[in-house]
Structure 1
């Protein structure tokens, strides 16, 4: 395979290869979500759904390093302790009472950034938790349902709705912009502060089993291939 040298990024050798191989997707997405839309300061709150996903866990880790606090919304109560252990400040099960529960858990602190990778009713519940002038950034649609945004959220809360596809951002970013994101990610990875959870690895000969495992909805980490060298 021949590629342009300008398209390559040198990964520090201190980073374990499995984790290094995944830094460009979810950790890079998380970094852009936290830096591309709202100017967050230390102590600020943000909220996200699908917080147990690889991107959600990366958001928790990076936000903690930045001094920001996270409200993490999940579908299953058994994930609460796990995500708290990983650094999530507040972990709540998604429900119709979400706005009131968020207000109570944060003492009514304004939340200016919401991160949505589910869509449908879950995205609407996130939007309802945002402060006036807040921003909801969508980067996935796990529910396969469209966004449901009432006109009142535009008129009375002046919310912004944005989206990101990290591959498009990467293709359009300059080398300097890419490294401005990669360098702090590399630094966190070298210090053991940024890891993508791996549930199981498979040899390439077991591709069918790997794909079947990856399709399980309740897995807690990535399914990866190991290649013989």
Structure 2
């Protein structure tokens, strides 16, 4: 109940006023049944504008810190993120990735839509970064379709480090479902999972118009380096032919 109240009454009207969102490619979205929506990730509000612009409910994986706060603020956060379809996952420890995939697998088994960000974190500079293979592993194991989704302009509404939204134009572009049936039975093969992931990222690059960077966004954030510095370092570390 709260999900639909947020969408149509409490938050949705504000998001529409601020972002003036529009959607393209709704015909590519299945009207029923499980699917993975593979989206680029530019801002926190990606997880609000995407559910706003499509008719079906979407579930997302969210870091467990959103659900472990204390006091009145912590209670409000737990209620809010649970009500909007966010599923808490522990991103620390060796079993974190497996736990996240298990949570997503359960939602897909119920016939739900699962929203996932293959980059694993928000882009630090608006470019599209290398995808992690967990989404591909999930798609190959479950056989559900993967639908690329490009979020456009959300970083202007919600720039990194800001709380209050800014008026801008948001567009959600939904691409055609990707068919990976040629890889049936090959789940668990890391080379196949990388090939599937790269195909998804290529479609996102085409849909979004973003420049692609062959680095993990999380590595960039952890080192505080620029993509150019990291690529230059990688090339320097390679042995001469």
Bigger proportion of residues as helix: 2
* Same fold? TM cut 0.5: no
What's the TM-score bracket when you normalise by the shorter of the two chains?
0.3 to 0.5
TM-score, with normalisation over the residues of structure 2? 0.38
